[in-house]
Structure 1
């Protein structure tokens, strides 16, 4: 009887450990709170690029709304996004770099999927080491294979514009909520492509470190 009890307890412990491991691979995000924030004109009046970042972890509530504002689905029936894209290609993916790892934002499921464990914020910071202090750094990656037409040079132009529009959504939201952020193009792009397993058609274009204000 005792041995059966021990086996049962062992199974429960293993199952709990497995469940925890599975939870770490995905982070469920909150539904967007579309009632929060300042009016657009006031938010624009507060927009500024931060020169320093706090190390306090960004809450799940704030991270959820940042990502939805950036490029979430605002018209579910059509699957369309908060940020426009050339030919509605929806070419921009958002990777979220944190101390625990780098995650990919899935706007359809409204969750984060773990891509790689470990802290790679230093690759996004590049030579500006102080940027790596930010608890969250968003990486905007365009997959130009999603464009249905155009030469490669045109696709790269569209990709840059699409990423910029996603970044601007982030900046306006952060200004509205009093968060510190800064749009950047500097990063270790080739190393990031290797770490994240990006394809030849995926281009890291911009990154946005985010924190609470000091």
Structure 2
């Protein structure tokens, strides 16, 4: 099975310093038979702060992102993670050594954002988080909510991000991956480098890899 980095290298021949040098990456269809049963996943769930030097395969990343907040009812465009009033406000940014991407759940692909490695900005001084091959940043877009950027909608966005975070934790436990939900990150730097709008708020992040 090709690992994720190999798949990205096949998708773009040269990695430069800007998003223009990156190409979108088509994800695989989710393998819905992979992993353990849900109760075993709950039994195995734990937070990990030590990661091995091993990449995720493209299939593993595809399965994880679908479980996190993918489209599970295409005819209605509904997601694996519920959201308040079906706002579908939570976006997932995928940060790797080769660049950062936005997960497009409807098209099941990664949209390039920047060729810069942002994992240290996500880690913000907690070096263990920068070692994981993938960091997932959960961002709520308040512009998708009625009323926009209000204190109540910020609370709603945080709750919706928390639901996606739990999906990630349980999916990792069931798939044999390691992760830990984190609130620490350099939000101002990430907002700039990920080209976030003023209404897009980073709430949580997940380093993901294999336990060391």
* Fold shared, TM-score > 0.5 on shorter chain: yes
| Residue 210 of structure 2: aligned partner | 212
Paired residue for 2:192, among 194, 201, 206? Answer: 194
Q: How many pairs are equivalent?
A: 197
CA-atom RMSD in angstroms? 1.7
Greater Rg by CA: 1
Distance of 1:175 and 1:19 partners within structure 2: 31
1:49-80 superposed Cα distances (whole Å, 9 cap, x missing partner): 00201121111010000000000000000000
Paired residue for 1:85, among 64, 83, 86? Answer: 83
Distance of 1:193 and 1:162 partners within structure 2: 19
Mind listing any 5+ residue stretches in structure 2 that lack a counterpart? 1-10, 15-19
1:25 is paired with a residue whose SS is coil
Contact 2:12 2:23 in 1 (8 A): no
Contact 2:94 2:100 in 1 (8 A): yes
Normalising by structure 2, what TM-score?
A: 0.89
Q: Within 5 Å, which residues of 2 pair with 1:1-214?
A: 20=13, 24-149=22-147, 152-214=150-212
Distance 1:126 1:181, change over 3 A: same
2:206 is paired with a residue whose SS is strand
Distance of 1:89 and 1:20 partners within structure 2: 37
Distance 1:120 1:150, change over 3 A: closer
Cα offset for 1:139?
A: 0.3
Normalising by structure 1, what TM-score?
A: 0.88
Cα offset for 1:213?
A: 2.2
Distance 1:189 1:151, change over 3 A: closer
| Stretches of 4+ aligned residues off by more than 4 angstroms | 18-23
2:196 is paired with a residue whose SS is coil
Distance of 1:23 and 1:41 partners within structure 2: 43
